[in-house]
Chains A and B, each alone.
Chain A
């Protein structure tokens, strides 16, 4: 499985999904012109990554936890819905017994960003770590 790397732009976040380390991150600003076109491939990648997690489990390999880091400066309401989809997809994997952790980064002066993360966390079972930048 290939890594998914997308450079960030002025309106869409940078993406770094690394299957080898199971470290996934989304960083920057998110208000893409077509949110579906941007986020659907990310959701697909995560869904496909389940096969890697499954294989590692079957082989009784050391299971690295999947860590998803949100390092967003800003996201609009359309992106919020896709971020929710990412978190729900991760939650499904967690329900199947794979170790998953979310890291939610925020600027200490930006209470709304921290609150937004807490809102997402409340809707799922996965563990969220809230980390000031």
Chain B
């Protein structure tokens, strides 16, 4: 039996630099204590246990280089095909994952070193897939992104389709035409997404984005 229904996973670092994984709804799923060994290194067994418990299929953290991401996505696509008999769901998960991962490369920035840095995870439970991404980004870029996310999250399916048509016909502002991706995620997930921004420094924050795709919807 599963212990949680709708996990909102937080990953970050304590002020001491120790990583933590926490679960907002159930305190007993706090792993921050066990996941470290006495000598201040990660305990592989606890990490493994944590990853299995959270149904993590794939987790990646690092530089979101296009070639690297292409290899990972190809691998995940193959994996999805073997785990899911329903192609419609597998295709939805893949589409959402790509948009989420591309958003990381798009928004991820901080300083020279952390540009395009971030993480993503793909989890699968009996009832749903969960895609989680996280990346540092500049505070000055947050208001416009937040406005976009808030706007989309309130929309009905029909309104989303309307906005999609409007966006796809509009003049291109940037190469990435921010907006279409998030509408696509909202449409394909049935508008199941959460996000938050955790302040990191005076100029940067950590952007957490999570979306769910129900398996028997």
Given contacts A11-B70, A77-B99, A78-B175, contact A84 B94 (CB under 8 A): no
Those of A68-124 within 8 Å (CB) of chain B: 74, 76-78, 80-81, 84, 107, 109-113, 119, 123
Chain B residues contacting A123 (CB-CB under 8 Å) are 165, 168-169
- Residue numbers of B with Cβ under 8 A of A are 66, 70-71, 74, 86-88, 91-92, 94-95, 98-99, 102, 161, 164-165, 168-169, 172, 175-177, 180-181, 183-184, 188
Chain B residues contacting A109 (CB-CB under 8 Å) are 86-88, 91
Residue of A nearest to B103 (CB): A77
Chain A residues contacting B169 (CB-CB under 8 Å) are 84, 123
How far is it, in angstroms, between the C-alpha of A69 and the C-alpha of B33 when the chains are bound? Answer: 57
> Is A112 a contact partner of B175 (Cβ separation < 8 A)?
no
Chain A residues contacting B165 (CB-CB under 8 Å) are 119, 123
Binds B, one of A20-28, A29-37, A41-49, A52-60: A29-37
Whether, in the assembled complex, A10 has its beta carbon less than 8 Å from a beta carbon of chain B, the answer is: yes
Main secondary structure of the interface of B (DSSP, over half): helix
- Residue numbers of A with Cβ under 8 A of B are 10-11, 31, 33-36, 74, 76-78, 80-81, 84, 107, 109-113, 119, 123
Chain B residues contacting A33 (CB-CB under 8 Å) are 66
